[in-house]
Amino acid sequence: MITNIESIKLALEKLNGQLKEKNIEGSLTYRGEVSHLIRAGRSQVSLNVSEQNDTLFVELFKGKKKIEGSMSIQLENGTEAALEFVEKLYASIDFLPEVPHMRPMGPVAEEGNLSVHKCDDEIVNFEASRVVSFFKDLAHKFSKYSVDVSGAFSAGANAYCVVNTLSTHAHYFLGSDWNIEVVLQLVNDDKKEIRSHKMGETMKEFNEKEIIDELMMFLNIKKETPRLNVEAGPYDVIFSSDALAEMVNYTSWLTFSGESFEYEAGMLKKGLHKIGSKIFGDNVTIVDNPNDPDILYSRQVGLNGVKRDYFPLINEGVIQNLFYSDKDTCDRFNMEVNNDMSVAQIKVMGGDGPSDLMEIVKSTKERTLYIGYIHYMNITNAAKGEFTGSSRFGTLLIEDGQIKGHLYNLRLNDSYFNIFNNIEWFSKELTHVNTATTYGHRMSSSITCPKFTKVHNVQITGTAKISEE
């Protein structure tokens, strides 16, 4: 079990030593998790499950040949079964073809103790009754408004530990996370929706009142303002942290991925863009820094065994670095692995803008939209950084220091080049937005970004309002 991570580390180092004795070259990666998931729909809890997983991933090399495999195992109970598995796997490597571009494996980071143990016992030994009661309390509290409560709460601990036969010491990360999303649907009011999302590393950070207050604020806005429609066209838009993080997350794969750049699958073009190229506005600075106290999940070593340091991506709009995480791609293009994008914790630096929505409303005189969430974002033209998405869960029209109305969901069709070159301000206060999925192995992930961001000339191309013609 992952809470025995020190024992797992020792077992992995022992297994690594056994491979060396048998002249087998390769890398070993342990991944484990304890996960809990609660879902609610139509004001009832519909799912309440927990699971545990421990997996050993093996990658073996012989000249320019490579073979991979995995097995479920609790390493703290011994390495005999794992060694037998590795030997059988290695016996098959001669049947595989050579990989012409393959270069020799490099060692796992050897600098001191880079392991991180940052796990909340309350999450590991999670009591579902607290969250189940919270969903029930929500249904009761908002019952007079004729709403259906739905949502999901995910919590768990996850760990990985890496070593290879060119190294002696293994390094691990053990951390915990929780994430909740609550949606209220106004059953008797055209099924309008409002949403609240929160996340954290420990259950002490789980604040039920904060969620209720946010839901009540947006419920009152929908009850007290008319539903309006706006014409298509360019608008000044204030994005919430959730909406901004969604755009940053997609931009990361199109812009910051060295693999995307080498394969020319992203929005940076060889011959036009390079390290030092200015692509965004002066007020855009984005970093990955495992030692930044503002971020969550400070991993010192990646799954690929590379030591992680301060890694600036964009500084005042200028490209500083690209992630080169995948050894095979780096071998193919004669590059060096420099970081691990899969464990990066992106931070968008804040500005001097306001951090309270009502303060923003009062200071906004010109016709401006508020978009709290972008639903079903997708890439329409990767080479141009163009995307589409729909606003959801609370889209507002602000003018003359007032919320003039709540809007039908709006269609955005724009480009990340346009968005990140037209930012007027970022909030000073930062928050965290969950970017992890529960598919595959659990891997805590978040983007740290300003609470609100104002952008000029965002292209709105349609509305969810059904034509009355």
62 and 178 share one domain: yes
Q: What is the mean pLDDT of residues 330-339?
A: 95
> Is the residue at 469 inside a domain?
no
Q: What are the φ and ψ backbone dihedral angles of 386, each rounded to 5 degrees?
A: -90, 140
Confidence label for 467 from pLDDT (cuts 50, 70 and 90):
low
Q: What is the mean pLDDT of residues 134-148?
A: 93
Q: Is the pLDDT score of 40 beyond 80?
A: yes
pLDDT, tens digit (0-9, with 9 covering 90-100), for 349-400: 999 999 999 999 999 999 999 999 999 999 999 999 999 999 999 899 999 9
Q: What is the mean pLDDT of residues 302-315?
A: 96
pLDDT, tens digit (0-9, with 9 covering 90-100), for 67-95: 999 999 999 899 999 999 999 999 999 99
Give the end of a domain, one of 197, 220, 243.
220
357 and 436 share one domain: yes
254 and 398 share one domain: yes
> Is the residue at 103 inside a domain?
yes
Number of domains in the chain: 2
Q: Is the pLDDT score of 327 beyond 90?
A: yes
Q: Is the pLDDT score of 469 beyond 80?
A: no
Contacts of 151 (CB under 8 A, 6+ apart): 39, 40, 135, 180, 181, 182, 183
Give the end of a domain, one of 220, 236, 257.
220
> Is the residue at 249 inside a domain?
yes
How is residue 194 written in tokens?
């409002």
Q: How many CA atoms lie within 13 A of 348 on its CB side?
A: 35
**Per-residue pLDDT, 376:** 93
- CATH classification at residue 198: 3.30.2290.10
> Is the residue at 355 inside a domain?
yes
203 and 233 share one domain: no
273 and 353 share one domain: yes
323 and 367 share one domain: yes
**Per-residue pLDDT, 436:** 86
Among 316, 465, 301, 318, smallest CA distance to 390 is for: 465
Q: Distance (Å, rounded) from C-alpha 193 to C-alpha 394? A: 7
179 and 156 share one domain: yes
Q: Is the pLDDT score of 313 beyond 60?
A: yes
Q: Distance (Å, rounded) from C-alpha 173 to C-alpha 167? A: 18
**Per-residue pLDDT, 134:** 96
**Per-residue pLDDT, 309:** 95
Question: Of how many residues is the chain composed?
Answer: 469
Average pLDDT, the chain: 95
Q: Is 1 exposed, middle or buried (0-12, 13-18, 19+ CB in 10 A)?
A: middle
- Domain hosting 267: range is 227-463
> Is the residue at 12 inside a domain?
yes
444 and 393 share one domain: yes
What's the Cα-to-Cα distance from 395 to each of 318, 374, 430, rounded to whole Å?
Answer: 32, 10, 21
Tokens 């495999």 sit at which residue?
69
Q: What is the mean pLDDT of residues 5-23?
A: 97
Confidence label for 3 from pLDDT (cuts 50, 70 and 90):
confident
> Is the residue at 6 inside a domain?
yes
pLDDT, tens digit (0-9, with 9 covering 90-100), for 179-227: 999 999 999 888 899 999 999 999 999 999 999 999 999 999 999 999 9
Q: What is the mean pLDDT of residues 126-141?
A: 94
Q: What is the mean pLDDT of residues 7-35?
A: 97
Q: Distance (Å, rounded) from C-alpha 123 to C-alpha 145? A: 33
> Is the residue at 395 inside a domain?
yes
128 and 75 share one domain: yes
Give the end of a domain, one of 220, 249, 266.
220
> Is the residue at 16 inside a domain?
yes
Q: Is the pLDDT score of 318 beyond 80?
A: yes
139 and 266 share one domain: no
Q: Is the pLDDT score of 410 beyond 60?
A: yes
422 and 338 share one domain: yes
Residue 85: enclosing H or E segment and its boundaries?
Answer: helix 80-90
Among 230, 288, 216, 213, smallest CA distance to 257 is for: 288
444 and 331 share one domain: yes
Q: Distance (Å, rounded) from C-alpha 201 to C-alpha 203? A: 7
Q: Which of 1-10, 163-172, 373-382 has the lowest mean pLDDT?
A: 1-10
